[in-house]
Structure 1
Amino acid sequence: MNHEQMDIKTPEYVSLQFSLAGLGSRAAAFIIDQLLLMMFNILCIILVIFIMKGMSSFPFFLEENTVPFAIAIIVIFIINWGYFFAFEFFYGGRTLGKKWMGIRVIQENGHSITLLSSFIRNLMRIVDSLPAGYFLGMLMVFFHTKHKRLGDLVAGTVVVHERGTKAKKKPSGIEKEILNRGLSKEDLIIDEWALRSLGMKEWKLIRTYAGRFVQLPVAERKQLTGQIAEIMLPKIGVVATGHSDIELENLLLLLYLHLREEWEFEL
């Protein structure tokens, strides 16, 4: 399926191409999210009813007491709004619905969505949902050239398709090397804030290192590994000294896996 493309030139003069998510995929993701939230809301209401029935057995409890319902309404509001805000920031621009539909929110410059952008974007849902049924938001997405709703315009964000899994292709040299070493992302835990502090400059550096890794002679690879490790590892809170050459290589390859998921959009 062909999607409209958007080209982005980063401050580092790197050209990135993204496939814009249209009204159909965004609406489907929103419906999935709303169904999940609806189930949560129903469970909350059922829980409150059971709590109130239990409390009614106490002589000091007044049946007309609406405090549990008031608390439930506040909790439901926080969860229903916070769901989109939290997931989009902490889950790489994806809610569960977006993940299911293979789309995500990013900054217009190609970077991951920031805390402020996620807050503003989701605060504007109140306006996008006017007058009812998310009518204004859908209208904006349908007619805007980049399929932006008002929240996207104010926050400087755009919704794009994830890179697709292409037909089986021969693994690259670095992919084979990572497999042979038995490495996976879970082997290196990186603080979310540290990971988000790494930008396109760091991605280009670690990508270049990974691209040359298997071609370099051992002596040159050892020297390059030491240089890259001194630059990159402190940025994620890892001390470069005290590690063997193999350990440093593994750490940099694991960092490559983390950054590749964030930056490598192959559409």
Structure 2
Amino acid sequence: MVFQPDPVVTGDAVELNVSIAQLPVRAAAALIDVAVMATGYAVLAMGWVLTVSEFDQALSAAVLLIVMVLVLVGYPVVFESATRGRSLGKMALGLRVVSDDGGPERLRQAVFRALSSVIEIWMLTGGPAVICSMLSPRGKRLGDVFAGTMVISERAPKLNPPPMMPPELAWWAATLQLAGLDAAQAEMARQFLSRAEQLDPVMRAQMGQRIAAEVIPRIAPPPPPGAAPERVLAAVLAERHRRELARLQVRPPT
């Protein structure tokens, strides 16, 4: 059974174009992280055994257990917090952990994911993580479900860049209220602008007027008199994109 992933919609009802990381790629990244953690644990354990061998076995076992927990939990938390959602394995394969709204992963979410991985990946050998990822439309394992995160691929094919802001409409776009513009209408306008130069001039003008007639009633204030429909659509999409980027770059306090 193949699931079509739901679109990633932010709190401002802006649909983000992201590529959900597939299970085989995530598994390969996890294997790299497992190798790194196993190597780190082996080095720390060997150092403990060689330097403090005079302590009794009970204390040594307790220390080794603490070291194991620090490696299993500390490694993903430290790396994902410092690199905004990437461990060494994810860096190697172009993956990143983000919040469900497309924003950066928070420290609390990294801790939730790390703690759940101890059970679903290490204690249960990854079975629950694989099953949950296969059933989830966004490829989430249990830790992602609890933390409100997902793993995306940063090496997916890039879409056309957003339209440039028409200089003569920048002042008007800065005053816009865009809450009434839904993702479907914005995507329709984006696709039209990306292919406008390939259309017949008459059809291009007709389509521009028709799409602008659907978009303008959902924004406020209305565009200046005489503004070309294509320029109006470009200004709306450029301002919408600018506001969303500004929102995602400001990391809210946890």
Q: What's the TM-score, normalizing by structure 2? A: 0.57
Is residue 114 from structure 1 mapped to residue 106 from structure 2 by the alignment? yes
Structure 1 residue 4, shift from structure 2 partner: 6.2
Higher RCO (CA 8 Å, separation ≥ 6 residues): 2
Check whether the contact 1:48–1:69 (CA below 8 A) recurs between aligned residues.
Answer: no
Letter in 1 for 2:112: I
Runs of 4+ in 1 over 4 A off after TM superposition: 3-6, 163-166
Report the RMSD for the aligned CA atoms in angstroms.
3.4
Q: 1:17 corresponds to which residue? A: 17
CA apart distance, 1:164: 4.5
Q: Deviations over 1:3-40 (max 9, x none)?
A: 96552232334321111112101111110000001111
| 1:135 and 2:127 correspond | yes
1:49 matched to which residue of 2?
49
> Any unmatched runs of 5+ in structure 2?
168-241, 250-254
Unaligned residue ranges in structure 1 (runs of 5+): 57-61, 167-171, 173-206, 217-255
2-structure distance, mates of 1:126, 1:42: 18
Measure, in 2, the Cα distance between the counterparts of 1:20 and 1:165: 12
What SS does the corresponding residue of 2:49 show, helix, strand or coil?
helix
Kindly provide the amino acid, as one letter, of the partner of residue 43 in structure 2.
L
1:149 pairs with 2:137: no
1:147-171 Cα shifts (integer Å, max 9, x gaps): 11111111111111014487xxxxx
- Counterparts of 2:49 and 2:147, CA distance in 1: 39
Give yes or no for the alignment of 1:126 onto 2:109: no
1:8 corresponds to which residue? 8
**Letter of the structure 2 residue corresponding to residue 43 of structure 1:** V
Greater mean alpha carbon deviation, residues 27-36 or residues 74-83: 74-83
Change (3 A) 1:130 1:35: closer
| Identical aligned residues as a percent | 26
CA distance in 1, matches of 2:122, 2:65: 21
Look up the equivalent residue of 1:49 and give its one-letter code: V
Query: What corresponds to 1:196 in structure 2?
Result: none
Write out aligned runs for 1:22-33 (5 A).
22-33=22-33
Deviation at 1:126, TM superposition (A): 3.4
| Secondary structure of the corresponding residue to residue 129 of structure 1 | helix
**Separation in 2 of the partners of 1:132 and 1:49?**
28
